[in-house]
Structure formats: C-alpha cells, structure tokens
Amino acid sequence: MVALFTLARYVVCRLEYAATVTLKSYEQGSKGVDLWKNFFQGKLTYMHWNKGEEMAPTIGSLGGTLLVRKIPIPDPKLVSVGDVVVLKDPANSDNYLVRRLAATEGYEIVSTDDKDEPFVLEEDQCWVVADNENIMPKQEANDSRTFGPVSMSDIVGRVIYCLRNAVDHGPVNNSKSSMRYDSSVLEVELDVEEMVKNHKV
C-alpha cells in the first residue's frame, strides 16, 4: 500500500508532466490541447530493453530491462549530471542509447589525449559517457568520446530501475536530486513481476 504522502507527491509529478506536455503541444501549434487528458493518460514510465556491455555494471554486461521515467522537455532543471539517460542514437535516430549524463551546457570538456583541444559545451549541448571502465573509450564505448556533444532534446527519459535478471534488480544510481524527485514515481509505478515477464534472455 502506497503512503498518502507518496501518493500526493506522485500526483504532483503527474500534474507537472501533464502541464509540460500540454505546453509543448501548444507551442508546436496543436489545437485542442487538454491538460486533464494528459494528466489521466498513461504512465510516467515505460520499459526499455538495453543490450550491450557499455553500461556495465549499472546495467548487466548482458543487458537489462529498464524502467524509464519519461522526460518531455529535457533541460538542466529536469535532468542532472550523473543521471543515466535514454537518448536517440546520433548515428541512427530510430535507435536509442543508454548512457550517463556527464556534462551539460557551460561545462568545459578536457580530453586525456593531448591532441584534443578543450572546449565548452554550448547551449542545449550535453556530454554522455558509458559506465564500463573496462572497454576502450573511443573504440567501444559509443559515447560522446566517439560522436561528440549531443543535443539535450535527444534525451527522452531517465532510467530509474534496472532488472538484470529475476533475482538481480534494483534502483539505478542517479544524481541525488533526481533520485529524490523520482522516488514517488518508482514506488507507485514499479511492477517487478511485469518487468520479469517482459525481460529478454
């Protein structure tokens, strides 16, 4: 049973999400935008299967079923450095990558390679990296060290829970502010049994 305080926080999260989606639709010229329809429609999360070893050990080396919190308008107020995010693959916009947000606009990026010049991320730019320290950064990580900065608007969600297998699962370590912000959503919408059913082996 979900505590009343948690439920109240969850309702606030739904209202914020609905207001953001409604405003975004209005700004894009949609007519008949309805805040309450957006409030009652669907969940704030979705499941995503991630394969590959780039995010090990956060997501197992064989991959994992992820619970992802939807982010309608990614900006530094909604997504923080340290968060594990789902973003459109810069090489193929039909695919999605899971990477850790390492820097946002205004951060200076300095390479360990002396041949690379330092630079500052511009407005709407971010830098994402793989968690796995046992792979070669520029050859295997498939992150910003390979493809450079990406647009914040390419971020579609934040990973809040990972199921590696039926007995190995738990919340994903994000920034403290995001984990606090997502706690009520996780408590209300997490269904481990459903994740196990949808898990790919």
> Per residue in 177-196, pLDDT tens?
999 999 999 999 999 999 99
From the list 54, 145, 158, 189, the catalytic residue is 54
Return the H-helix or E-strand segment holding 156.
strand 155-163
With a cut of 80, say whether residue 128 has pLDDT above it: yes
Q: Which residue ranges make up each domain of the chain?
A: 1-42, 44-176+191-198
Q: 158 an active-site residue?
A: no
Give residue-wise pLDDT tens across range 87-122: 999 989 899 999 999 999 999 998 877 788 899 999
Give residue-wise pLDDT tens across range 8-20: 999 999 999 998 8
The one-letter amino acid at 104: T
d(CA 77, CA 127): 16
pTM of the model: 0.91
Q: Which two tokens stand for residue 47?
A: 């499941």
Q: In the predicted model, what is the mean pLDDT of the chain?
A: 90
pLDDT at 32: 64
Q: 145 an active-site residue?
A: no
Q: Domain 44-176+191-198 class?
A: mainly beta
